[in-house]
Structure 1
Amino acid sequence: MKIIVPMAGRGSRLRPHSLTTPKPLIPIANQPIVHRLVKDIARILSEPVDEIAFILGDPAFFGDDVVKSLEELAQGLGAKASIYRQLEPLGTGHAIMCAEPSLSGPAVVAYADTLIRASFELDPAADAVIWTKQVEKPEAYGVVKLNEKEEIVELVEKPQQFVSDQAVIGIYYFKEIADLKKELQFVIDNEIINGGEYQINDGIKRMMASGNVFKTGTVDEWMDCGNKVVAIETNQCIMSFMEKDGSEELNSQPTLQDSKIIPPCVIDSSVVLKNSTVGPHVSIGAGSVIENCTISNSLIQKNSVIKNATLEEAMIGNHVKYDGKFTRISIGDYTIME
């Protein structure tokens, strides 16, 4: 089994955090989004994963440190890492085709901007599975249309009339991904373009027209990481799940000096808390120092120093220095202070 992970986008909705760190590498509960996603998918699959293909963008942004992180992720799952580049933003279908040498055999395609909770077995009668989540407002999503056999017969983007309440979340299984490769090659050769790009949906629609059977795989939770607000919500959700699962990640012991932690929190053991109350639902990355603060429902990355602050629903990046006593401040592009 292979996992194909297109992750070349710059994540503009998550600025300023994605200005210096690729969005899939931004930590949720102190672990990069793409790491959590790939591990969750590998856990669901009944077959061992032998290769993970990552499609990255410009090497100037997705550099050697990113490649090393992904290689270590694959290695930890007993798989080979294959690294490909999508140097032009030509769409989801084009991104997959950038990994053309890896497009054979059974594979999962997963776009690295979402996290899931799921437990199900892949239907052996299906040629492909599109993972979906039941939603309250299907008109805001791309949804699947099903026939009487519960097979997917159509993909409908933001339907004005009710089609179904099963929204496509951007994770797909193909019993033979070479079938998708063949159809995407046709899409590219014939310049079938939607929204100015080559889309995976056009390849999938051609597979359906050729008689391939598509089924749904419904996830229990679908958590977005696309902007600051939903990233903080997802940070909270993941910690709540970790608490239910009894995760060891919640048990690290930072240095406490007249401080208190209200669980659940994910705080690196190298963090120093001074005269502060932290939690619930706070993640703090390695090397950070928190002093004279009250912080809840927030995400703080590595090597930051936060002093004299009361923070709720805050997202703070790497190497930040912030002192709540000061009013004449200079913080980078796209910063939001509310």
Structure 2
Amino acid sequence: MIYILIIIVLITIFIIFNKRAVPVFLYHQVNPISNVTPELFEEHLKIIKKYNIKTVTVSEYYNNIDKNSMLLTFDDGYYDNFKYVFPLLKKYNMKATIFLNTLYIMDKRENEPEIKDNNTVNLEAMKKYIESGSATINQYMSWEEIKEMYDSGLIDFQAHSHKHTAIFTGTKIEGLTKKDKMEPPELYLYRELENNYPVFAKRGEYSGKAKIVKREFFNIFKKFYQENIENKVTDKNEILKKCQEFIDKNTEYFSDESEAEYKKRIEEDFLENKRLIEKNVGNQVKFFCWPWGHRSKETIKVLKKIGVVGFISTKKGTNSMKPNWDMIRRIELRKYTPEKFKINLLVARNLILGKIYGWIS
């Protein structure tokens, strides 16, 4: 009897709260070598069409939308968004929002690139930035392409930070770098690919105040490691202990970012991100998507003072028709099969089931 009651309750919830939530899906790259291929993405669009769900941009969402609406969002601004995603959106007359990292965008495309994975793309861009101060790379869309997409009426472009970099958050050593496995945020912080630099905790640059490490310390540390530990100490815990002792004895190379420095850094990066988008696209930038999803209540206060009205997260779950604009939830699936997409879509457009999904996730 109790099982029948549970089933009745679930059916009632599904009926009453269905189509009363707004699912937001998150993508990055869509290309033949990514985990979402163009063919797979098209299957997603077919499912959306089958259920007569209306796709809207984040700006439209903010200004009130109809029931049975959803958002498709893309982070960073890779070239494949123009090459593969845009034609499919036009084919199905569906809308999307793309959150741009503006440091990497060139004015016009000179040649069509060979598509690469996002870590390779961003590592190449960061190497170029460190060497020359410019990080424009043809693996990202050009401003000319972005303007064409915006003028179609199908794509909204909003902020995702200018550089999409990282900060150190502490000086407790977590390991040692391996130059063949270093990622773009680490390269930005160390400025060169080297083995045996100390690995410290890091987060997205908008996540709070930074622990500042003078760059000369890294080579000082590496010299210490080579002379005192390498090929002499084999126990991992003992290696980390000795490294930490050395770090703790050299506090003059570390400092804490002040409140004023933190706010200035955040404001300058965001305002440059906003300026470039508005200059080249002609829209109004009012929404901010957290790099790596690393949120901060303090940063929300800072950005609200300079015009941001909505913050887009990577926190799973769904959103109401009148959502919490301090944290719009999104769904990104590791395996984006049509079946999983369909299940997540139907769950997330039901307000109660979507909220439960968010709590569980």
Relative contact order, higher structure (CA 8 A, sep 6+): 2
Higher strand residue share? 1
* TM-score of the aligned structures, taking structure 2 as reference length: 0.26
* TM-score of the aligned structures, taking structure 1 as reference length: 0.28
Higher helix residue share? 2
Structure of greater Rg? 2
